[in-house]
Every structure is written in structure tokens, then in C-alpha cells.
Structure 1
Amino acid sequence: MTLAYTMAAGRGDTDLVLERLAADLAARGLRCCGTVQINSPRADAGPCDMDVRVLPDGAVLRISQDRGAQARGCRLDPAVLETAVAMVAATLSSGADLLIVNKFGRHEAEGRGFRDVIAEAVAMDIPVLVGLNALNRPAFETFAGGLATRLAPTTEALMAWVNEVTASAQELV
């Protein structure tokens, strides 16, 4: 099983490093599937809009809901998230060198979202890299059964891991 995660300290920093990594890997010709998150500031100074780009070059989907200035709590649109999950699952079934999931979040912690896609990729021996935050780390560690590798949230560290796991996969072919 080749499963790794990364966590960056700043808000949105994990999203940025995963987006850069996906762009670098695409430029190298690696077949990546999954999602990267794009956060866009709002003109009204409210919380950022959250979009995911479905890899390798798929749709950009707005996963956040505008619930108004006074709203509190989760802004995730679960229906749009599940649309992204279905798109990634379809791509994964065609084969991939790597699965990137922008976040193992609350939905995954509760058994929904990308959880089954991650498990399917692992079963297919496709390396998986997920973004993670401290809130969902205990649920991820339970899900991974102690078999996930923590990677520094730098392009260099992530690229070194990708080079290692994709080289190992190529040797098996």
C-alpha cells in the first residue's frame, strides 16, 4: 500500500502545494487523477470561494456554498463534492500513475466523499497522496491503519516521494 499525506500550517497552504505539484507532474507526463483545490478571494471580503479542479484537465467545480454573511459552519456543498468524486472514480478506472485528493475532510472522516476512491486506488496499487488538516487527522489515521507516510508540505519533498513510488511501480511492469 502506497498512501501518503501532507499538512501545511497556513490556511490554504496545503491546497497551494498540491496544486503546484499536480501542475509539475502533468508537465512531466505523469497520469494524475483526483482533485486540487483553488481558493478565490471574494469581493465582499467574506470567506473565500472554494473550487476543485478535477485532474488531469477536467472541470472546475464550486464546492462552497454562499450561505450569506452571517452564516457559520461548514460551507461545503456535498452534492458538488459527490459529483467530483464520481468524476475522479471514472478517471481512476481508466488507470493512473497517482491519485491526489485535495483533502481528507469531514465527509471522508464520516465514511463519504473520496474515502472509497482512495481505498480503490490503494487496492489497484496506485499511489495516493492526500491533503490533511489536524481536525481530521485522527479519522485519517484510523482509516489508514498506521500505514500512511507523512510528507513535508514542500514541492521538493512531495516530488521526491512521487519519484520514489512511481519508479517502484515502473519496475514492477
Structure 2
Amino acid sequence: MSRSKTKPIRLGGVLYAADTPERNALREFAENLVNRGWHVAGLVQEQAYDSDGQKIGLDAIDIRTGQHLPLSRPSKEDLETGSCGFDVRLLSETTRVLRAAMDAPADLLVIEKFGEREQDGRGLADEIVSAAMAGIPTLVAVPSSALEVWNEFSGRLGSLIPHDITSLANWWPKWNLYKELTLTIPDEKPKNIVIGDKAILIEGKDGCGITTNPLQKAQPDYQTNKSLKDLAKQTQDHLSPLDHAFGVAAILAYHNRYNLNGSDKSGLDHFKGRDETVLIAGNFPNDKAYANNSAFIAAKDALQHLSDYAYEGVILPSHTFSDGLLPSLLRAKGLAECVLVGPETPLCPNLFDYGIDVLSGRIIKDADKAAEMVAEGASPKELKPVSQYITLEK
């Protein structure tokens, strides 16, 4: 007997007022996600002007295609009577855009805005409810004057989000960082895969990734027809530790490229000499001056600790990425400046959008020698002779 999966409701009301400074924040947030490879759909609004620069009405813009849909073109009579000149014939077209997003489905649905028709249960109200119930992350621009109507409409099941880029980025689930790291990986075959007793190595066209073998058992004859992208997608599967480890190695093979440039400054020195309160999570040397005011804790205990205490900075070990703890730690740290350090750090600047400020990781400089060492039983930490550590800062 099969059992359907229930998806959580991810509905956000993005509150704005007449004096909100970042009125384009929702649109900019959506465009940023599109540029990073996410499937974002929906509608934003823009004032329409004629060739002389005179305002003539309001357009809805299909985020996916860029198509302009003229929502209103008020006539002189409309202006005199105070009518907005809304073209109800175009409502079916805007509905089609949103229905297509639900059929795909989109990674994010954006609707601007929760207007008078939606407040009355008309307009795009049904589409908002349908998307939310389908588990599609949905953001709706809500005027502050309609807050109580929105709360009643949404049943208070969603989040209320300030209309600014930082708040929208904080709303975006931290867990999405795993999928984020797969979006730009091409569908090409890995050059080499080696499974040693202690490590897994995957070599791509431009880089090499190594992570711990969770089974601690070599598989010298391992073969797969999966592409580097398909292997990387396995980071989203925590039911199979081996598949997840393959995903980590594939992500590192793509992002930690041989020709990547960065600072040779250690991420562990980022807070050195500064007075902020800094939490060092993990098995880092405790005789090092990380900051003028620092505390140490085991990585496994850091989540609860960060939920109870506030810090201005945190240093996290890269194994929190490979073991799946990183998203929860990024959520718990709040606004603390964050450094991710270690051999399993993906050197991908897109992670800066998830609350990481410094990425300090390694690049394998000799893939052939690394493959030989892994096959002979070397652990990821024992590959320093074929590694170069670099640091990227936000």
C-alpha cells in the first residue's frame, strides 16, 4: 500500500508600506534566484509608461518569460471617476501563468500583490491557496493595511517577512544549499571514482572531490553510469549514507576546481585580534588564538548551544556540510558572522547567500596521486601533500 507524502506549507506574506525603502526587493530576490539556476515562477508588477514617459497604467510581468501583461490602462473617464481601469479579461492569463508554475512545479512562486481582489477572495486568491497546499514555496507581497485580512486568509499558517533582501534571504530554507550546489553542475560523466577504506574520491573534468567513506570499506571494482550532476543530487538523500557521500564528493569535484583562485589566509584566522564573542565548533586546536573572546564546543553540541546563546561570530567545521548538520547550524546562528573551514568545504560563492561569510577549503592539485593514496587506504586528512588550501570571502 503506497502512502503519499505530505509537503509542509511554505507560505510567506512579504509586508510593505507606502514608505518601504526596498519596494523592488521581492522582484530582485526572485531574479537573483533565477540567475543562480532556480526555477522561479509567478508575477511581479511594474508601472507602465508611454513613449513620452507618462504613466499609463500597470503591468504584470511573468518572471519566467519576462512577458508584460497590461493589467490596467485607465481611460480619462476612469481617472475622473477614480476607477483603476483593471482589465478583467487578463485575469485568465495571469491565472494560467500561476497554474503552469504549479504543474512544473516551481522551486518558488512569487505573487505581487495581495490586492483588493485577492482580499475579497477573487483575483489570484485560489491560486495562492492551491500553491501553498501543494507545498510550493510561495511569497506574496502584502500591503501592511491588509495584514489582518491576510492573517485571516492564510489562517496564520505562513510567515510574515519584512520587505527587504536580507529578510527574504533568511526566509529561504537553509536546507536548499544542497540543491543550490547541484544547479550548475553539467550532465557529464566523472573521469574517475575511487572508493578506499577511509575515503571516496570523484574526479571531474576540472576538479577532484574527496570525502569520508561512511562504510569504511573499499570497493575497488565500483562502477556507475550516473553523471556528475546525478551523483551530486544524492546529497539530498540522507537515507543512504554512501549515496550522500558520493554527492558530497561530486559537489567538491565540480566547485573546488584546479584553477580556482583565492587567498592563502586560513579561515581560522578570520577573527584573530578581534573582540567579538566567537564560538569555535568542532575539533579545532584549542591552543590557538582564534579571537580575543572565544569559546569551544563539540560540533554535535553546537546546535543546542547556538539556540540558547548569542554569538557575534562562529567557526564551523566542514564535516557539518557532509553530515547534514550545516543548514540547522546556519539557522541557529542568527546574524553571527560565519566561517566554514575544512577539506569538505564547497568553494562556491553562492553559499554566501545562506549566511556563510568565509569559505576556507581545499583544492586537490594532483588527482592521480590522490587517487592512488585513497586506493591505498588514506583518509581525507592524510591527503595534505596533494592539497592546496584557499579562502574565499563574501
TM-score (norm 1): 0.84
The residue type paired with residue 164 of structure 1 is K
Shift in Å at residue 61 of structure 1? 0.4
Q: Does 1:143 align with 2:175?
A: no
1:57 equivalent in structure 2: 65
Higher alpha-carbon deviation: 161-170 or 121-130? 161-170
Tell me, yes or no, if the aligned pair for 2:101 and 2:109 is still in contact at 8 Å.
no
2:17 equivalent in structure 1: 9
Q: What percent identity do the matched residue pairs reach?
A: 24
CA separation of 1:12 and 1:78: change in aligned 2, threshold 3 A: farther
Q: Does 1:40 align with 2:48?
A: yes
5 Å matches for 1:82-161?
Answer: 82-161=92-171
CA separation of 1:113 and 1:71: change in aligned 2, threshold 3 A: same
Task: Give per-residue Cα distances to partners, 1:18-40, cap 9 Å, x unaligned.
Answer: 22111111101111111011123
Q: Does 1:30 align with 2:38?
A: yes
Shift in Å at residue 169 of structure 1? 9.0
In 1, the alpha carbon distance for the partners of 2:129 and 2:178 equals 20
Tell me, yes or no, if the aligned pair for 2:43 and 2:111 is still in contact at 8 Å.
yes
TM-score (norm 2): 0.39
Secondary structure of 1:66 counterpart: coil
In 2, the alpha carbon distance for the partners of 1:7 and 1:127 equals 17
Higher alpha-carbon deviation: 153-162 or 36-45? 36-45
Higher alpha-carbon deviation: 90-99 or 67-76? 67-76
CA RMSD of aligned residues (A): 2.8
Higher helix share: 1
**Count of residues in Structure 1 that have an aligned counterpart in Structure 2:** 172
1:18 equivalent in structure 2: 26
Tell me, yes or no, if the aligned pair for 1:122 and 1:128 is still in contact at 8 Å.
yes
Identify the match of residue 66 of structure 1 among 67, 74, 77.
74
Which has the higher Rg, Structure 1 or Structure 2?
Answer: 2
The residue type paired with residue 125 of structure 2 is R
Secondary structure of 1:70 counterpart: helix
Shift in Å at residue 9 of structure 1? 2.3
Shift in Å at residue 121 of structure 1? 1.3
Tell me, yes or no, if the aligned pair for 1:85 and 1:114 is still in contact at 8 Å.
yes
Higher alpha-carbon deviation: 163-172 or 63-72? 163-172
The residue type paired with residue 107 of structure 1 is R
Tell me, yes or no, if the aligned pair for 1:7 and 1:14 is still in contact at 8 Å.
no
The residue type paired with residue 7 of structure 1 is L
CA separation of 1:149 and 1:40: change in aligned 2, threshold 3 A: same
Higher alpha-carbon deviation: 48-57 or 126-135? 48-57
